[in-house]
Amino acid sequence: MKINPNIFRAYDIRGIYPDDLNEIVVSQIVKAFCVFYPKAQKIVLSRDPRLSSPSLYRAAINALIAAGREVIDIGVSSDPLFYFSIFHYHFDGGIMISGSHNPKEYNGLTLHIRKPDREISEDVIGKDLEKIKKMVTKGEKIDLPEAFGQRGKITILDPARDYINFVTARIELKRPLKIIIDSGNGACGFLPEKVFKKLGCQVETLYGDFDGNFPHHLPDPYQEKNLLDIQKRVLEKKADLGLAFDADGDRVAPIDNQGRRISGDFCLLMLARQILQKKRGPVVHCMRVSKAFLDEMEKEGIKTYFSVSHHNAVIEKIIEKGAVFGGEITYHFLFPLDYYLCDEAIFSSLKLAEVASKVKDLANHVDSLPRYYASPEVFIDSTDGEKFKIIENLEKYLRERNFDFIDVDGARINFSGGWALARASNTEPKIKCRFEGETKEDLIRIEKKALEIFKKVEMPVTEKTYLELGLKE
C-alpha cells in the first residue's frame, strides 16, 4: 500500500480518514515507532472522540501488542491526562490518536518519547520523525525484530483522580469563581468542571459529552465563530470567566465577564506578569506575539526569545534559555515553575483563573492592558509541497534587499511602527500571515507594503486576503 508522505508534518502526523490515514497506515507507523525506540516498553495510548478514532486505536493497540509492548490504555483522554500519565507514573512514551483542531474528517497521531536524562516527554519530531517516515513510506512491510516475539499486554489506567489532586494542589484562587466551560464535545469532556469544582467554583459545562460529529461547533477556540454559545452563556449566567477548550485539550480560550474572547496576546501578557511576580527570568514566545508585549518586557528588563510555533520547540527554547514562562498567541502556554513541561490546556485555564480571581472585574482588567492595532490572522491557500518553498523565496528576497526581519519561523519583517509575518502552517496547506501597527494608519501601511512583497515572491495573495484585512487591492 502506497502511503501519502504529506501526512507527515513537521511535528506530527495528520491526514483525512480513510484516504490518507487508515488502520493499515497507523499499524505501520506504530510498528516503525517500536523499531526505532526498542527500549520504550510501556507506552501510554489515548484517543480523542472522533468517529474514526476507535478503529485507529485498535490498530495501534494491535501493533503495540505485536511488538511486545505494554499498552497503558487510558481510552478517550485529553492531552492533560495523556501527558500527566507519562510524567506522573514514569512511563516510557505515548501515542495520541487525535486530529487536534482539524475538521472531523481528519485524524492523526502524535508520537511521544520520554527522555531518560530529562524530565520531559518530547514529541518525536525532526530527524527522528523523518526516519520513521522513511520506514513507513518506502512501501515495504515493517517486520518486527525477533526480540519482539513475545506478545505484549494491556493495562487499563484511569489517571483522572490523581490528576485532579495534583493540579489543584498547585493553584490558589483568591475567591471562588462562577465559570462556564465549553468542551466542544472533545476529549476534555467534564474533566475541567471536576477540577474547578474541587477548588470551590460554581461551574457549568456546555457540550461535555464525547461526540466525534462535533454537532454544535468545531472545538477550535482560536476561531471566533466557535465561541458564540459560550459567550452567550457567560452573559446569561453573569459568569466571571468562560473557558473554551479544543478537541484534544492543549488549547483554551478565555472569555471575560462581558462575553468577549480574550486574545492570546493579552493572555500571554497577563500570565507573564503573574509568573514574573513569582520569579524574574527570560520568557519564550511565538513569532506572532504583539509588539506591545515585547515593549513591556523590554521596559521591565526581561529577556525575550522568539520560537518556532510548536510546543515542542517552545519547550526546547525554555530549557535552553532557562525561561520562567513560554507560550503562543494560539492559546498554548507552558509553566516551568509550576508544572511539568508539557502543553496542556486545563492547567493553563487554572492559571488564567488565578488571574481572574485576583481582580474585581476581568473585563476591566483586560481593557487596561497595553495594545496596538493588529490584523486578524489570515490564511493564504497553498499546498504542502509549495508553502515552504514560498517562505524560503520570501526570506531570500528580504535578505538580498537588506530588510530587517526575523527568520526563526517564517519571516517577521520589522517596519517603522510595526511588523508583518508570513509563515508556513505546520498542520495545513496554508501560509499564515499577521500584521500589527502602533497606529491604525501604521497597520494599513504595513499590510499593503507586506502584501506587495508577498506577491513578488509568488505567494498566492488573492482578493480574498485584501477583503479579510479590510483593504482594497
CA 203/CA 70 separation, integer angstroms: 37
The reply to whether 100 belongs to the active site is yes
Query: Could you tell me if 309 and 377 are in contact, meaning their C-beta atoms sit under 8 angstroms apart?
Result: no
CA 291/CA 272 separation, integer angstroms: 15
SS3 annotation, 319-379: HHHCCCEEEECCCEEECCCCCCCCCCHHHHHHHHHHHHHCCCCHHHHHHCCCCCEECCCEE
SS3 annotation, the chain: CCCCHHHECCCCEEEECCCCCCHHHHHHHHHHHHHHCCCCCEEEEEECCCCCHHHHHHHHHHHHHHCCCEEEEEEECCHHHHHHHHHHCCCCEEEEECCCCCCCCEEEEEEEEECCCCCCEEECCHHHHHHHHHHHHCCCCCCCCHHHCCCCEEEECCCHHHHHHHHHCCCCCCCCCEEEEECCCCCCCCHHHHHHHHCCCEEEEECCCCCCCCCCCCCCCCCHHHHHHHHHHHHHHCCCEEEEECCCCCCEEEECCCCCECCHHHHHHHHHHHHHHHCCCCEEECCCCCHHHHHHHHHCCCCEEECCCCHHHHHHHHHHHCCCEEEECCCEEECCCCCCCCCCHHHHHHHHHHHHHCCCCHHHHHHCCCCCEECCCEEEECCCCCHHHHHHHHHHHHHHCCCCEECCCCEEEEECCEEEEEEECCCCCEEEEEEEECCHHHHHHHHHHHHHHHHHCCCCCCHHHHHHCCCCC
Bridge-based pairing of strands 325-328 and 283-285 is parallel
Main-chain phi, psi angles of 346, to 5 degrees:
-70, -45
Active-site option among 100, 307, 375, 425 = 100
Which amino acid would we find at residue 435?
Answer: F
CA 206/CA 446 separation, integer angstroms: 40
Catalytic annotation, residues: 100
